[in-house]
A = this chain, B = another copy of it.
Amino acid sequence: MFVMNGNKYDSNWCLTEETYDPEKSKHYEGLFTQGNGYMDVRGSYEEGLAGVDQAREYERKPANVTLEKHLKEQSNWGTYIPGIVGKHPHLMTEIINLPYFFETGFCINGETLDMNESKITGYKRWLDMRDGSLNRHLTWHTKNGQTVEMEFFRFISKENAHLAISQIKLKLVSGNGEITFFGGANVGVRTNGFNHFTGTEISAIDKNTVQVAVDTNGGNKVVILSKLLTNRKVATVSLGDEKRGFTTGTLELGEGEELVIQRIITVATDRDKADYVTDPFETCAKTMDYALETGCDVLLNRHQGKWFSYWNRSDVIIEGDDRVQKALRMSIYHLLRADNDRDDRVAICAKGYAGAAYFGRYFWDTEISLLPFFIYTNPEAAKKLLMFRYNTLAGAKRNAHAYGYKGARYPWESSVTGDEECANWQYADHEVHVTADIVYAIMHYVHATEDVDFIRKYGIDIMVETARYWCTRVDKFADGSYQLLGVMGPDEYLPITSNNRYTNKMVKYSLEQTIFWLEQFRPEHLNVTDEEIAMFKDVASNLKLELESPEGIILQCDEFLNYADIDFDSVWKDRSKCFGTFISQERNYRSKALKQADVLEMMMLFRNEFTKEELQANYDYYEPITTHDSSLSAAVHGIIAAWLGKEDEALAFLDRVINIDMDDNKLGAEEGIHIANCGGLWQLIVFGFAGMKTAFESDEIIFEPHLPKGWKKIIIPIERNGEIKRYEVK
């Protein structure tokens, strides 16, 4: 056995938990999520936690996810393969929490290692973002007086999608004893309280190999093959009980002696694109053969090499602020981890596959918050994300049809099939801007890459079908204007408004682009008629869009001034908590209190169309009445504050953005990573502080920096035309 050694600890690259705090356990599980795009596993302890029942069934019902009070467990295992989804009895389709395959437990003379019950010193756990490896060191003091040093190390291979490896060193520093260990895959898991497995097959393949196969209620088969190796001669046996397949062994260990366990785990599903073969059992077996032939140390090297190549094109260096540096790396790490750039049937879900809170669904976050990072660092990955929307166009058409419209309407919460999965009608019915956001995102990609071919092959279908939708969704008024009534804009605290400026601007832009590209070429299969194009033009030209007012304020919607002013200080008693928790939804829905950037988001996305004075006026108007209850908001306000040279405010927003997932007092990562905010942080640094012009504004890469005091420089890698260039911004 070749024992693996992780990287040397580097605080600029490592997210670290210095002590074990049961209250924070779930937060670190989310923050320490590992993955390779194909699969993701929350950073749960290998041995589980006493008092936590991962198999507890309960009824989780639809609720407002922002305000919902979760059934609070100290730990939630989470093992996800994007695309493996199934129906939940109350929550429509959700991503399925799969068997936990890192489970590995230890006993010494009958005493079980457990973070809640054992006496532990020297605890330190860190996620090394360079290679996404999770490390844990601790010293365990048993009741029998043994002192045991333990080192846990694990990674999910970035080189081989189906492979995960875990290594645990156990050294008896003092005393001796009988060590029993087991490692395998545990099917006793639930997703939001529900058991999605319709069948389970647990097989002991040989003395150190077990295979666990589950059938899901989404019709998939998922196979996990687990092999357990040791550095010492131990008789092991593989067994299955009602919820586990595992390999176990017992040995005597003398003082100073060390046991090293390596677990090689291969995972495959019948939904995989053919990496090796399409039968998941065979994929698992062949991947295992490959891993055994190669050896863990070489597998680790190859894995690290892959991560290095991703970091090479993505790592933004901030000289002069280590805290921000690390936070930005955290964001980039999770973006790189959660993206599968080889599978265009999935995108990146709202919680970055680090939790099941948003059920593994896809929002506008993908296009507006996440995509820019990929457009400028890995255009192929950006294209793949856009292809997800192309591949779900049929769902968007079903969705439009269900509402009585023509064409295609992208769902607010998209399933992997593009069907609407949002349980709350006010969002599903009224938050329609996502459909136009997707066309904006296509154009962002095309401006940056000049990949016009993408429009010809895929984008034009999306454009034409969504234009058809908009033309049936608008209402025509006697004055010849078209209006979009009954709309929720990005600000979700005003549910049903008229002519939300963000939405109307996006729709107008989207129609204009559609018209422009139809003038370049006319794809036969879409049967676009001249009358249709005339209609597109009529709606694009006459869609109500009032962007002026005497005071220079762009009203969020027609009725904005009619909403009630709110005395924030009397309502919002504790600003460390969401504003929404202090006010009934009913009152919120009639007050001038924004959940998130709306007009400002529009101004940011169409920056070249507005003067600095206009930006300033609207920032001054909206900022005091924006609660930032949404994690998508602070980055936008931060970018605009940076552009306006408001350094203190921009830094305050930066803090806010960082704390959303990094602050272990806020516990923001408990239910997963706010992945849109990760994309937002990258944008705040690159577009905001470094002041990079987007491809909408400039064909060249240009920076107009607004670096905070103390920041020496920012080095930003940007890929253009297949070439990665590093820009130093001072």
A interface list, Cβ under 8 A from B: 59, 61, 89-90, 402-404, 425, 429-430, 475, 477, 483, 485-486, 495-496, 498, 558-559, 562-565, 583-587, 589-591
Q: Write the nearest CB–CB distance from A357 to chain B, whole angstroms.
A: 21
Q: Is the CB of A486 within 8 A of B590?
A: yes
Query: How distant is the Cα of A719 from the Cα of B429 in the complex, in angstroms?
Result: 51
23 contacts between A and B (CB under 8 A): A59-B89, A402-B584, A403-B584, A404-B584, A425-B585, A429-B584, A429-B585, A429-B586, A430-B586, A475-B564, A475-B565, A477-B564, A485-B563, A485-B564, A485-B590, A486-B586, A486-B587, A486-B589, A486-B590, A495-B496, A496-B496, A498-B559, A498-B562
Chain B residues with Cβ below 8 Å from A89 are 59
Q: Write the nearest CB–CB distance from A375 to chain B, whole angstroms.
A: 32
Query: How distant is the Cα of A498 from the Cα of B563 in the complex, in angstroms?
Result: 9
Q: Write the nearest CB–CB distance from A268 to chain B, whole angstroms.
A: 35
A485 CB contact (under 8 Å) in B61, B475, B562: B562
Q: Is the CB of A589 within 8 A of B403?
A: no
Query: How distant is the Cα of A402 from the Cα of B585 in the complex, in angstroms?
Result: 11
Query: How distant is the Cα of A485 from the Cα of B477 in the complex, in angstroms?
Result: 25
Q: How many copies does the complex hold?
A: 2
Q: Which of A404, A429, A558, A586 has the most CB of B within 10 A?
A: A586
Residue of chain B at shortest CB distance from A588: B486
Q: Write the nearest CB–CB distance from A573 to chain B, whole angstroms.
A: 12
Chain B residues with Cβ below 8 Å from A475 are 564-565, 590-591
Q: Write the nearest CB–CB distance from A650 to chain B, whole angstroms.
A: 32
| A404-B496 contact in complex given A485-B564, A558-B562, A559-B559, C-beta closer than 8 Å | no
Q: Which of A425, A498, A563, A565 has the most CB of B within 10 A?
A: A425
Chain B residues with Cβ below 8 Å from A425 are 585-586
Query: How distant is the Cα of A585 from the Cα of B558 in the complex, in angstroms?
Result: 21
Chain B residues with Cβ below 8 Å from A587 are 403-404, 486
Residue of chain B at shortest CB distance from A484: B590
Chain B residues with Cβ below 8 Å from A430 are 586
Residue of chain B at shortest CB distance from A566: B475
Q: Write the nearest CB–CB distance from A242 to chain B, whole angstroms.
A: 27
Chain B residues with Cβ below 8 Å from A403 are 584, 586-587
Chain B residues with Cβ below 8 Å from A477 are 564
Chain B residues with Cβ below 8 Å from A559 are 498, 559, 562
**19 additional A-B residue pairs with CB within 8 Å, beyond A403-B586, A496-B590:** A59-B89, A61-B90, A402-B584, A403-B587, A404-B583, A404-B584, A404-B587, A429-B589, A475-B590, A477-B564, A486-B586, A486-B587, A486-B589, A486-B590, A496-B496, A498-B559, A558-B562, A559-B559, A559-B562
Query: How distant is the Cα of A323 from the Cα of B32 in the complex, in angstroms?
Result: 75
What 10 A-B pairs come out closest when comparing CB atoms?
Answer: A486-B590, A475-B564, A429-B586, A485-B590, A403-B584, A486-B589, A404-B584, A496-B496, A485-B564, A498-B562
Query: How distant is the Cα of A558 from the Cα of B589 in the complex, in angstroms?
Result: 16
Chain B residues with Cβ below 8 Å from A402 are 584
Chain B residues with Cβ below 8 Å from A589 are 429, 486, 496
Query: How distant is the Cα of A589 from the Cα of B585 in the complex, in angstroms?
Result: 18
Query: How distant is the Cα of A565 from the Cα of B476 in the complex, in angstroms?
Result: 9
Chain B residues with Cβ below 8 Å from A498 are 559, 562
Query: How distant is the Cα of A89 from the Cα of B59 in the complex, in angstroms?
Result: 10
Q: Which of A90, A477, A486 has the most CB of B within 10 A?
A: A486
Query: How distant is the Cα of A456 from the Cα of B565 in the complex, in angstroms?
Result: 38
Query: How distant is the Cα of A475 from the Cα of B565 in the complex, in angstroms?
Result: 8
Q: Which of A59, A402, A475 has the most CB of B within 10 A?
A: A475
Q: Write the nearest CB–CB distance from A521 to chain B, whole angstroms.
A: 34
Q: Write the nearest CB–CB distance from A65 to chain B, whole angstroms.
A: 15
Q: Write the nearest CB–CB distance from A497 to chain B, whole angstroms.
A: 9
Query: How distant is the Cα of A497 from the Cα of B320 in the complex, in angstroms?
Result: 52
Chain B residues with Cβ below 8 Å from A590 are 475, 485-486, 496
Q: Write the nearest CB–CB distance from A582 to chain B, whole angstroms.
A: 8
Chain B residues with Cβ below 8 Å from A486 are 586-587, 589-590
Query: How distant is the Cα of A586 from the Cα of B61 in the complex, in angstroms?
Result: 23
Query: How distant is the Cα of A241 from the Cα of B550 in the complex, in angstroms?
Result: 80
Q: Write the nearest CB–CB distance from A307 to chain B, whole angstroms.
A: 45
Residue of chain B at shortest CB distance from A487: B590
Chain B residues with Cβ below 8 Å from A404 are 583-584, 587
